[in-house]
Amino acid sequence: MPTAALQAGQVVLDSFRLERQLGAGTYAIAYLAQQLGTDRRAVVKVPHPHLLAGPHGREIRRRFGVEARAATRVSHPNLVTVYTVGETEQGIPAIAMEFVDGEPLSTRLNAKAPLPIDQLGALGEQLGEALLALHQAGIVHRDLAPGNVMVRNGTSGLVAKLLDFGVAKLLDAPTRTLGPMGTPGYLAPEQLQGQVTPRSDVYSLGAILWWALTGRERPDDYADGSLRAQLGASQGPDPLSLRPNAPPRLAAVISRMLVPAHEHRLDVDAFLGEWRAALAATAAPQLVPRSGSWSGSDEHRRTTPLRSPTVAVVVGNSILRTLTASYLDSRGDLDIVTCDARELTRANPGTYAAAVLDADLPGVDIRELLQVLSECHEELALVVIGSAEQADTYWAAYGATAFVKLPEELEQLRGVVYGAVGRGLTTGALSSGRLSVPVVEGLRARGQLHASLNGFIGDMPQWIGDLQVALATEPERASAPCRQLLASAESLGLRDLARLARAACAFLSRNDFEGAAAFAVALEREYHEVFPEVFELMMNSGPVETTTT
């Protein structure tokens, strides 16, 4: 049984002379080698001898032989080339592959993330196509991570090459008894149960793109046990929670790649289709290499910028109009225009993709307006907003696409409008990511984060209760707790909570206590939605810091 590592100067696999050890991981050792009779440099990888001597050595050896040979049949510009596989004289399985110049993706992300859109697009598309080639050959990479990707700047932009395909699967966890494998933060939840599917690679690629888009690496959710808790969840995290100004279409795709339940996760074919569509919808023209060639003859295509859909907001009440427009505009991928009913009916067909119409428009028969719009603007999606009492009307009979109760269903308005204009919405919960990252990091830098979060959690329920009691008994005294709610929400950058509080304060300033009461209920609901995120951040922010002066 082999017990010793290979030595410099040794010739393995008939023609590869080892020059020096490049590195060693948990499962394998990599050597720089020169192929005899050529100028070609190569990398020779072998499993650690102690793994072969362990209880699973026979299975590791068997699967290495079967699957490494299968890997030699895969050829793609963004995959490292495998030259040959076999055994050393000591009986150690070995694989010789292309030596790739460039820098590890982890190095670039540490230094430059978030990446520019052209580099982000190229990275996702090229690695996606590399995975597609692997999956079509029946190979799951199983350990896709920034350390296993090399990048360089080609003539048409970033070019990426995936290393070690198949090797991670060959060298680790051939049976469930070996436990989960993969790089923390890039490990798919199902791998904890010994299950590996092609969509496990999509999860890992999603984690890479998360870092490239947000500038923040995914947390080690394996070590802290939270990865196991995610098993079966059907919604992925929202990158906009870390970078609110990121392109929302790209963020939505990444969120769907990170869905914990693999049966609800995108496969690589679906990812490539959605990724290319998201890139094409970005506002600025980008150069996106399709399959970057490491030799320098990179193929590329230029995407065509598409204008964001324009949505008309036709709401009579100025407070509701401002609130509705700000909610729809918060992700930045819709062009929101406020106008009146006359402007909407006189607009040329195709000017607007959708219209949000207030059921209480003063001086307007909303049913008649819907019928006129549906006849003259057949492609226009019509969303009606109104009170609970108006929900009983059969709005579809007048041409409406949907009805949304306000403020009770304000959170659903985005999803309804996005669906009406054919836009995908990030699968993460809408409440996720409402904490402003710049505000939170500013509090952290000043040593005030933990105290601010703790104060918010302690005081907010009391202020909500005071507001509701005042509205029910002494409405003229409701402004004080409402202003406290607004100040507290703004201090943490809780944008949606602050919008609701600001609207409630505006209704109170007009002595519209009924409108303010409706928003008080919405405030309480929003607080319960955002509480888990605030509480988790407080628990992870450490003990109460000393406030600097």
What pLDDT does 227 receive?
Answer: 53
Mean predicted lDDT score pLDDT of the chain: 79
> 301 pairs with which residues across the strands?
288
Contact 516, 506 (CB under 8 A): no
Q: Which of 451, 520, 525 is nearest to 481 (CA)?
A: 520
- Residues annotated within the binding site for ATP are 45
Rounded average pLDDT over 183-207: 85
The answer to whether residue 296 scores a pLDDT higher than 50 is: no
Q: Which of 215, 235, 225, 283 is nearest to 441 (CA)?
A: 215
More confident residue, 347 or 291: 347
Which range among 8-17, 74-83, 260-269, 428-437 shows the weakest confidence by mean pLDDT?
Answer: 428-437
Q: Does the 10-98 domain belong in CATH 3.30.200.20? A: yes
Q: Which of 97, 98, 115 is nearest to 106 (CA)?
A: 115
Find the DSSP H helices in 330-378.
341-346, 366-376
User: What confidence category does residue 332 fall into, taking pLDDT thresholds of 50, 70 and 90?
Assistant: low
Which range among 279-288, 359-368, 504-513 shows the weakest confidence by mean pLDDT?
Answer: 279-288
DSSP reduced 3-state for 97: strand
DSSP state string for 279-338? HHTSSS--EEESS--TTS---EEEPPP-PPPEEEEE-SSHHHHHHHHHHHHTTS-SEEEE
259/120 Cα distance (integer angstroms): 20
Proportion of the chain above pLDDT 90, given as a percent: 20
Contact 130, 162 (CB under 8 A): yes
147/283 Cα distance (integer angstroms): 31
What pLDDT does 165 receive?
Answer: 61
The answer to whether residue 428 scores a pLDDT higher than 70 is: no
Q: Which of 385, 391, 384 is nearest to 370 (CA)?
A: 384
- Residues annotated within the binding site are 45
What pLDDT does 171 receive?
Answer: 46
Which range among 57-61, 108-112, 138-142 shows the weakest confidence by mean pLDDT?
Answer: 57-61
Q: Quick one: angle between helices 495-509 and 479-491, nearest 10?
A: 160
Q: Which fold has domain 445-538?
A: Four Helix Bundle (Hemerythrin (Met), subunit A) (1.20.120)
pLDDT digits (tens, 9 = 90+) for 107-125: 999 989 999 998 999 999 9
Which of 39, 101, 118, 143 is flagged as catalytic?
143
User: What confidence category does residue 535 fall into, taking pLDDT thresholds of 50, 70 and 90?
Assistant: confident
User: What confidence category does residue 299 fall into, taking pLDDT thresholds of 50, 70 and 90?
Assistant: very low
109/212 Cα distance (integer angstroms): 6
pTM exceeding 0.75: no
Phi, psi (deg, nearest 5) at residue 262:
-65, -25
Phi, psi (deg, nearest 5) at residue 227:
-65, -40
Q: List all residues 6 or more positions away from 261 whose beta carbon is below 8 Å from its beta carbon.
A: 189, 231, 232, 233, 234
DSSP reduced 3-state for 14: coil
The answer to whether residue 105 scores a pLDDT higher than 90 is: yes
DSSP 8-state symbol, 224 = T
Q: Which of 33, 124, 45, 135 is nearest to 92 (CA)?
A: 45
208/113 Cα distance (integer angstroms): 11
Describe the chain by its helix, strand, coil percentages, rounded to 5: 45, 15, 40
User: What confidence category does residue 62 fall into, taking pLDDT thresholds of 50, 70 and 90?
Assistant: confident
67/73 Cα distance (integer angstroms): 10
Q: What are the residue ranges spanned by the domains of the chain?
A: 10-98, 103-170+182-219+238-282, 318-406, 445-538
Tokens of 390: 């108006």
Rounded average pLDDT over 422-448: 61
What pLDDT does 1 receive?
Answer: 47
Q: Hey, which of 58-72, 156-170, 515-529 has the most confident mean pLDDT? A: 515-529
Q: How far is CA 354 from CA 223, 377, 382, 483, in A?
A: 46, 10, 6, 34
Which range among 229-243, 377-391, 513-527 shows the weakest confidence by mean pLDDT?
Answer: 229-243
369/383 Cα distance (integer angstroms): 12
Q: Which of 286, 281, 282 is nearest to 300 (CA)?
A: 286
Question: 342, exposed or middle or buried, with CB in 10 Å at 0-12, 13-18, 19+?
Answer: exposed
Tokens of 167: 């090797």
First-last CA distance in the chain:
66
Q: Tell me the Ramachandran region of residue 327: left when phi exceeds 0, alpha when psi lies from -120 to 50, beta otherwise.
A: alpha
User: What confidence category does residue 543 fall into, taking pLDDT thresholds of 50, 70 and 90?
Assistant: low
Which range among 341-345, 404-408, 422-426, 520-524 shows the weakest confidence by mean pLDDT?
Answer: 422-426
Residue 224: active-site member? no
Contact 242, 214 (CB under 8 A): yes
DSSP state string for 111-173? HHPSPPHHHHHHHHHHHHHHHHHHHHTT-------GGGEEEEEETTEEEEEE-STTHHHHHS-
213/279 Cα distance (integer angstroms): 13
DSSP reduced 3-state for 198: helix
Please give the CATH number for the structural domain made up of 103-170+182-219+238-282.
Answer: 1.10.510.10
What type of residue is 97?
M
